[in-house]
Amino acid sequence: MASNRSLFLFLIVGLVVHTSEGFFVSHTKQIRHPTIDATFYKSNSIPSSRPSYPRAALNLSMSTLSTQFTSSAASQWHNQRRKSIIAKYPEEIKTLEQQTHGLFVGLPLLIFSNVCLSLLAIKSASLSIPMIAMIAIPSSVFSLWQLQILHDALHSSLLPKPSLMTSSRVMRKVIKHRKALQNFILYFGSIPSAFGYYLYLKYGHLTHHKSLGDSDKASLATLFNSTQKDFEDGDILFTAHRMKLLGPSGPTFPIPWAKDKDFTMSISKFGFSLWKEGNALRNALAFISSFMFERIMLIMNDFVVAIAGRNFFFPNKPKEFHDECARYCRSAVLFRLALCFAGRSFKPLLYLYFAETLWSIPPHPASAMFITNHPSKIEADGSCIPSSSTYAGRWYSLFTLGTNFHVEHHDFPTIPLHLLWKLRRIAPEFYKDVGDRDNIFQIMRKTFQKPDFYACMNSNNIQSITP
């Protein structure tokens, strides 16, 4: 029997590779990410000595920014911070951006996390459902690590960059083939999963950096009705469960028997409608319920997409999007079924579901940084701060693999997550004091006590504190 299972697993893996064969043909282009402009560091605009800057706040008008840039005002807030930090610390930032990577940290950890997820999924077949949930609470960190390492691959910070000075033949070969390697890691590194991070990362994360807090682009209706391949801001799919958004909801479906009529079905907005300001416990339970239920629907939808070859929630998107959704869903579903066969139970899928969701919801410690990364923090002068980091100590940073340094990441997206902490040492005046210590449980309570708008999307005044 054991040999039969091994043979079946071997065949399933072969099928996964076969269904993904189009991947190697269609993924020849580099992942879309702004390249590091090395000439910026050489520009005469960077003074040789470190200049002094006034401590006055720089207020950026939403309307002014929208007319000058294609990216959102919140995105420009980070861009202004980036320019100021580079102007003051050019050599230190140049080293971090151009001469660092996460290959020797991230790749082994990704392999370790995925092996652990697979083995624990198979082991869960012999456990009771309550025990599976108990095991998934601590081990969900493997799913978080999977997401963050793939996230580094997307931002071109996992593999060494072309600007890296190295004499190693191996490293030069990695740099030469980094485009194909990045896509390979992003695709196959997201398996095993219950619903996976691949499609969000591929189509929705880089646009999140550009459209962060944009009231026109960052709405559910815009996202679901879009005709473009990429999501306008993929993070809306998460924030809609716990934050206020401007614009109409979605997705909207036509009513077959009623001409020119349709209905809107949004699990996230329905859950959010149950919130009551001032009741943190009720709001947290509403968030957990809608978030967990929607993830069950996503798992079911993967099977539909794998069979139908189309994602019906995004009817207007181009064929390339639907083909890629179908290709990935078929690979991921086959592997999930292989794990279930290996355990002779559907409990492995249940374990993966818990592992991918529990780190995102309270009372899991990691959820503190997940639910507070883009608030609308109003300062005393009425200006708004669109991003937030969670500083809860060294162990918390290790536990979350640096995901808690969210302001730092949006300031410098191409710095590997495990090195973002250095920005607070290099430029402490741009971040909260190094000695600050956030209470993660107070953060959760405050977040669910009174919901914020997403990333200052309702504000006309975004502030950048420039020392």
pLDDT for res 28:
43
Q: Are 40 and 97 in contact (CB under 8 A)?
A: no
Model pTM?
0.85
pLDDT computed for residue 34 by the predictor: 45
Query: What are residue 136's phi and psi, to 5 degrees?
Result: -70, -25
State what percent of residues in the chain have pLDDT above 90. 70
As a whole number, mean pLDDT of residues 416-440 equals: 86
Residues paired with 254 in a beta bridge: 262
Residue with tokens 């004499």: 167
Tokens 């695709």 -> residue: 187
Distance CA 447, CA 129 (A): 30
Q: Which ranges constitute the DSSP H helices of 346-393?
A: 347-357, 367-370
More confident residue, 71 or 179: 179
Residue 438 pLDDT exceeds 60: yes
More confident residue, 53 or 190: 190
